[in-house]
Chains A and B, each alone.
Chain A
Amino acid sequence: MRIFEHQDAARSRTLRLVLLFILAVAATAAAVHAALWLCWQLLDALLPLELGLPHRFLAVNIGVTLLLVLGGWWIETSNLALPGGTERLLRRIGAREARPGSSAAEQRLCNIVEEVCIAAHMPCPEVMVLPRVQAINALAAGLDPAASVVVVTQGALDWLTRDELQGLVAHECSHIHEGDTRLNTQLAGMVTGLELVWRFGDQVRERGGLAVLFGSAIMAMGSFGWWAGRALQAAVARQRELLADARAVQWTRSRDGLGGVLRKALTQQQQSAAGAAGTDPAWKPVLQHLLLVSGAAERGGWLAAHPPLALRIQRLYGRAMPALPLQADGAATQPADLTPATA
């Protein structure tokens, strides 16, 4: 794997996609104005009255659309920017802080986070565990690198070797180091803003009469903006995943660590597809873009927040690799002292 070339490529693609995103927001505002202008012209042609364009028609249309987008973005991001906002969200989905004193697996996890942070020259994030999730997964959250959190599922603690867990943690630390969590939140906020345009159109339409025409026009353009925003947000997320994979290899100097994680996750995905594993937890769709592995990835397409696992494995090894069978790592599941491991 040519790690530095992959990193440069992912970074420049991200930049292009973010510029496209900004263009999409501007295009939505322009499209809303164009659609309303067309509606007005249509009315002008059909009605026997001389309507003429309302005063400052362009400024109001563009202004209101941008106000909705930026307002939605502000509401969405300010919720998480509050002190402890991220932690509250994580606690709501069942995460708790790691307890290195009471469990060998969690002692190992905390040590690994500190090791990777030395390699990455970054401050240590808070470490949390999702104790009731058996799928191998992890996520990084937090808008500020100094107040970030790495969350690892119980499945990752149970099924991964030390080197694999190191690869997983390095991948998540890359998201923090490269500011992906912040970028993702900003883009998600913008997508919410674009969705508000659609909702505004819906509200206008409910008034009935001629408002149905204008409301539908706003809804159609808001819908275009929302889909474009979602597709671009997902494309950015996919590039950041590839960048984080390359970073994990760079910091750990090993492709087998993260490679093992992805190959074991592939096994779980195959089992899940065969109906052997449980269903995804309810919070998964909410945090899809933050996770290491997303179930939706295998369906691929424009809206997948992750590249397919097989593709990521192929990029790591330079060739296709089979899934790895799951084996409980005995070293991690033994208690560190007399207190039994709590899970």
Chain B
Amino acid sequence: MATTWWVLAALGVALVWAVWVFNGLVQRRNRIANAFGQIDVQLKRRHDLVPNLVEVAKRYLAHEAATLEAVTRARGAAVSAAGSVRQQPADAQALAQLAVAEAALAGSLGRLMVVAEAYPELKADATMRSLGEELTSTENRIGFARQAYNDEALAYNDAAARFPDLVVARLLGFLPATMLQATQSEAERQAPRVAF
């Protein structure tokens, strides 16, 4: 009889521990979702900024229509890729497309800023200076949001791989979170250079 009570007590403790680990993992997984949402918010900020930037630049860059068009086109592609990801958040292909589209947008914005360097009137334009600051800030925010996502993913993966929590994680299907990879090329790694 005493043995039965001991077994029941041990099972009770194990159950409480499992619930505790489960809640911890769910909390960490939610934080990852939240961090991912933050990246989306910042990408949208970049998308919203681009039309204003192009509008102001257009007044001064009459001979750089191709550059401006490339920025607008890249923005369109990025907005539509972001839309697909919002509809299918777990789709790895949509995520990859978004990464490519965002890298292209960052690249074309960088080229626009390099071109703008050669136009002193554009550089002196107060609205352009303000937009330049907003763009720099947005690029930083995207970078920090990615960094924050990776920090959360690392904390979750660590928690799910630690013994004995690992047992609960495996049994209840807590899969490892994917870390965002650093962009591949040197040009992509450079945030658009804004020097106003």
Contacts and interface: CB of A to CB of B under 8 A. Distances in A.
Q: Are A and B subunits of one complex?
A: yes
Interface of A: 104, 107-108, 111-112, 114-116, 118-119, 121, 162, 166, 251, 253, 331, 334-338
B134 interface: yes
| 9 nearest A-B residue pairs (beta carbon) | A111-B137, A119-B144, A118-B144, A115-B140, A336-B130, A337-B126, A115-B141, A118-B145, A118-B141
Nearest to A119: B144
Contact of B38 (A107, A116, A118, A337): A118
Contact of B133 (A111, A118, A119): A111
A107 B133 CA distance: 8
Given A104-B133, A108-B133, A331-B196, A115 B144 contact: yes
B134 A111 contact: yes
A162 B35 CA distance: 25
Given A111-B137, A118-B141, A118-B144, 4 more contacts: A108-B137, A115-B141, A119-B147, A334-B126
Q: Among the interface residues B35, B141, B152, B196, which one has the most CB atoms of the partner chain A within 10 A?
A: B141
A329 to B, nearest CB: 12
Contact of A336 (B126, B140, B148): B126
Interface string B94-121: 0000000000000000000000000000
Nearest to B34: A121
Contacts of A104: 129-130, 133
Contacts of B38: 118
A331 B196 CA distance: 6
B7 to A, nearest CB: 40
Contacts of B130: 104, 107, 336-337
Contacts of B157: none
Contacts of A334: 126, 129, 196
For chain B, what secondary structure do more than half of its interface residues adopt (helix, strand, loop), or is it mixed? helix
30 contacts: A104-B130, A107-B133, A108-B133, A108-B137, A111-B134, A111-B136, A112-B137, A114-B137, A114-B141, A115-B137, A115-B140, A115-B141, A115-B144, A118-B38, A118-B141, A118-B144, A119-B148, A121-B35, A121-B152, A166-B140, A253-B147, A331-B129, A331-B196, A334-B126, A334-B129, A336-B126, A336-B129, A337-B126, A337-B127, A338-B126
Contacts of A251: 144
Nearest to A332: B133
A131 B152 CA distance: 38
A118 B196 CA distance: 25
Nearest to A108: B133
Contacts of B195: 331
A331 B193 CA distance: 13
B137 A118 contact: no
B49 to A, nearest CB: 12
Given A115-B141, A335-B126, A337-B127, A121 B148 contact: yes
